[in-house]
Each structure stands twice: as C-alpha cells, then as structure tokens.
Amino acid sequence: MSIVVTGATGQLGRLVVDELLTRVPAESVVAVVRDKAKAADLAERGVELRVADYSSPETLAGAFEAGDRVLLISGSEVGRRVPQHTAVIDAAKAAGVAQLAYTGVLGGPEADFTLADEHKATEALILDSGLPYTFLRNGWYSENYTANLAPVLAHGAVVANAGEGRIASAARADFAAAAAVVLTGEGHLGRAYELSGDVAWSLAEYAAEVGRQTGREIAYSDVPAETHLSVLTGAGVPLPFAEILVDVDRAIGRGSLARRNGDLSRLIGRPTTPVAETIREALAAR
C-alpha cells in the first residue's frame, strides 16, 4: 500500500508530499506527475514517481495500485476539470484503491458560486463510483491574495467587489497538513471536512494589515462588479476567469467563504496560520 499524491509538483501537492515525509517513510509515498524532470527533487528524497496526465486517461492506468490511499488534487484548468477528474476516479476504481481523498471547495453541495460547480460535480462522481472517500472541502488559501501583492503595492489599493464580506482563509500549508493527516490516519473514510481558517477577515482589514506591515497607505476599494471586471480584464485576466473572480467576490459578500467550524485546526492539531503571517512571508520573499 502506498500513499499517492496526484498533481504532486503543484503548489499544494509539494506541500502535501513534504508533510507526508514527516509522517511516513519515503518509500511509502508516490508522486503522480506529468513531468518527471520537475519532480527530480522528490525522487532524490526517495519518493516514487509515476507519470500520468489528467487529460490523458490512458496514462492513468498505471498510476494507482490496489490498496493505495490516493489524494486527488483538483485540476487547475477551470472548465476542463470534470472530465479530468472522471479519468482519475475511473482509474482509481479500476485499481481498487482503499481511499480516494479529494480537494473540493468549502461548502460542498451548498457552495453558491460558479467556481464550485466542477467541485460539486466531482464529489457526485466519487459518490456514484462507490469508492471509499474523504472530501477535503478547502476554503480560501491566504496565498490567493498575497500572491497578488505587486499590483496592490503599485496602486496602493486592494480592489474587489466583495463589500464587507469576510474570508476564513488559512495558509496553503495548513490545508496540506490536513490532507496528510487524512491520508495517514484512520477514521476518515466517508467523511466530509469543511476546512477553513480560525479567523474570518475582511478585505478592508487585509488592506490595513498590508499597510501596517509596509508602512504605506493601502486602501480597500470596493467597486461595482462591472467595474471590477473591467479592472481585471484591463490587467490581462482572460474574460471567462475574470467573470469567475467577480462571482467569487459576490459570494464573499454573501458570507459564503466566512464559514468556520474548526475542522481544519482540529485535524492539524494547532491553530491555523493567521493571514498576517502569510502577508509577512510574502513581503519577505519579494
């Protein structure tokens, strides 16, 4: 039996592998990757590499073995994820894996924004497959915001159409730690975990914290959805993805990403990482 992480060279996947290597021997960990060269460092640490691509179902035939515990990290290509995930689910079922954990979205079937649609469809496919499952319904990564500090600092403003809505985010590493716990522990089959940060913050508070840490005046500019859409497309964001981001902000305004039940901190056995710490790390890395 191996613990298999798909998308293992991605931002979340690498962190999950790192966490697993603190818990189990390297020879128990398998990284499913599209490009072995990008995973050379994982191989050097003793991790087995299996090459497969979500978009090429035939490559997934050898990705899993009977009894494996598998983490399906959701694909990054919005609009293509349902067929991609279907290919992984079919391969996992054919192999007879012991667990299929999936990184979905906070709220699961109740999530009320367009970006959640493919996650909801994937959860339904997993349930229909009859596979032993664990749903990791991830809330927002704080890095979703700190990765875009450059324009914030350049213009002295956080621009959004989220109103006074709050976001219960956590660091990506927190979610990775939760995945590692679920993959290495017992009692998680048939469970759906709603994973979010311990503290929900507003974008006005986020802007103020960036300002505090940089010693600059950073405003929160809450604009109409149409204006935000124009700002995003003007900055080069493709229209379909810009529309998704605007829709997410509307959901934030409704409180959809503020829900907290403590699942994440309970799983990892510690408080979640404050957004101020993630801001500090991002600024130090600039």
- DSSP letter at 104 equals E
Mean pLDDT, range 123-129, rounded to an integer: 98
Which CATH class name applies to 3-139+171-195+260-268? alpha beta
Q: What's the pTM?
A: 0.96
Based on its alpha-carbon atoms, the radius of gyration of the chain, rounded to whole angstroms, reads 19
Tell me the sheet residues that pair with 65: none
Q: Where are the domains of the chain?
A: 3-139+171-195+260-268
- DSSP letter at 148 equals T
8 Å CB contact between 135 and 193: yes
Dist CA 119 CA 124 (whole Å)? 9
- Sign, CA dihedral 76-204-15-39, equals positive
pLDDT tens-digit series, residues 145-197: 999 999 999 999 999 999 999 999 999 999 999 999 999 999 999 999 999 99
Look-up of token digits 């900055």: 235
- Sign, CA dihedral 31-33-36-40, equals negative
pLDDT tens-digit series, residues 6-19: 999 999 999 999 99
Q: Which helix (H) or strand (E) holds 25?
A: none
